[in-house]
Structure 1
Amino acid sequence: MYTFHFNKEVLAMPTLRPSTAGDACMSRSGLYRAAREGRLERIARGIYLPADAPAADWDWIEAATRRRDATICLTSALAYHELTVVIPAALDVAIPRGSRTPATTGAIAWHQFDRPTFEIGREEIPIPGTDQTIGIYSAERSIADAFRMRGEVGYELAREALKEWLRRGGKPTHLMEIASRLPRAKSPLLQALEALA
């Protein structure tokens, strides 16, 4: 009978795909057998975690696995930065405009952002429970995006996030610097800052 063992390298990289089964010293058929036997848990089509892996956000893992440039944005990024109490129904993830939108099984809302501005305010954060990382937009970029896409996310969300960010000591000059580099963000954000002043 096949016994599934994790070596140190695999413990550092618990997410497995059929193409990475060799990293766990197993064949593709061994990976599928381990999943059938309950030693691996299928979190999405073609993505597996060890059954005893630490708790992790499966949508984050699926988004990062499907697209290396996946970036948490809009309401999901505002929630991560604790700038809203709104709990998004799906994980908001940006990819560069013109990219193929991946087929996913998780609750992921894919958004296409302009390529020339895609990297503005983007950073990488670790996905807890894995060795993977995922992109996320900074609080400032997320607020600017909420204002420029207020028709999609709602003006109140943008305004409340801005108020909370200012209450915490956010610097409007830094926010306006980012907003001036994004289409349709500067004017509504400036109006909101003036109204709150």
Structure 2
Amino acid sequence: MADDLDHLPETFTYRGAREAGVPKRRFYALRDSGAIDQISRGVYRRTGASRIVDLDRLEIALRAPLATLCLTTALAYHDLTDANPASIDVAVPAGAHRPQTTAPVTWHQFDRATFDLGRTELPVDDTVTIGLYSAVRSVVDAFRLRHREGEDLAYIALRRWLRRPGNSPATLHEMARNFPRAVKPITKALEILQYD
């Protein structure tokens, strides 16, 4: 039975297994025998997979391929905040499907025209990645959405980001130009921090 898994990645969806030619009856036999574990509705992982992974990120990435870690979650990843969000902040392009997940997710819809700016890929396991906004994009997003996320989050992130070698206000302004609502508050914050 395990040879049915040879052509599947360590983590896969029910649909992916069916499309790869695993018959429905065989699939459920694999599940019932313990060869695969269900990690969320429709998402499965080989039992004894070689790598320990963040199952929440894995589920999100498989359910929403354009999912991108953003705001407080991205700032925490980049060590630009001590905040520990109760749910995972995930951006998708405006109008994109926001699936139901067992993982605690706060979905955000970002403009399609700027969605890919500063977006990178973060490996979750050997075959799955999830989007992640860069540190500079995350700081800009904290300022442009400060009315929802809080000004403290934005100021702390900016202060920490500026302390890192190689970071400069010019880099921040270059990214902020793509988000007009962020330019003025970032300029003001930089002026204030200059006198700290």
Would you say same fold, with TM above 0.5? Answer: yes
Q: Percent identity?
A: 43
Q: Is the 8 A contact 2:13 2:44 kept in 1?
A: yes
The corresponding residue for 2:39 is 43
Q: Is the 8 A contact 1:56 1:130 kept in 2?
A: no
Moved more, 144-153 or 54-63: 54-63
Summarize deviations over 1:66-125 as a string: whole Å, max 9, x none.
122111100111111111111111111101111222122211111000111111111112
Please, which runs of 5 or more residues in structure 2 have no aligned partner? Answer: none
The corresponding residue for 2:129 is 133
TM-score w.r.t. the length of structure 1 is 0.90
Summarize deviations over 1:104-153 as a string: whole Å, max 9, x none.
221111100011111111111211x3311111111000000001111211
Separation in 2, partners of 1:100, 1:135 = 16
Q: Is the 8 A contact 2:94 2:112 kept in 1?
A: yes
Separation in 2, partners of 1:59, 1:21 = 20
Q: How many residues align?
A: 191
TM-score w.r.t. the length of structure 2 is 0.90
The corresponding residue for 2:116 is 119
Q: Is the 8 A contact 1:72 1:137 kept in 2?
A: yes
Separation in 2, partners of 1:190, 1:139 = 17
SS at match of 1:185: helix
Structure 1 moving runs of 4+ over 4 Å: 22-25
SS at match of 2:122: strand
The corresponding residue for 1:142 is 138
Q: What root-mean-square deviation, in Å, do the aligned CA atoms of Structure 1 and Structure 2 show?
A: 1.7
Q: Is the 8 A contact 1:91 1:109 kept in 2?
A: yes
The corresponding residue for 1:58 is 55
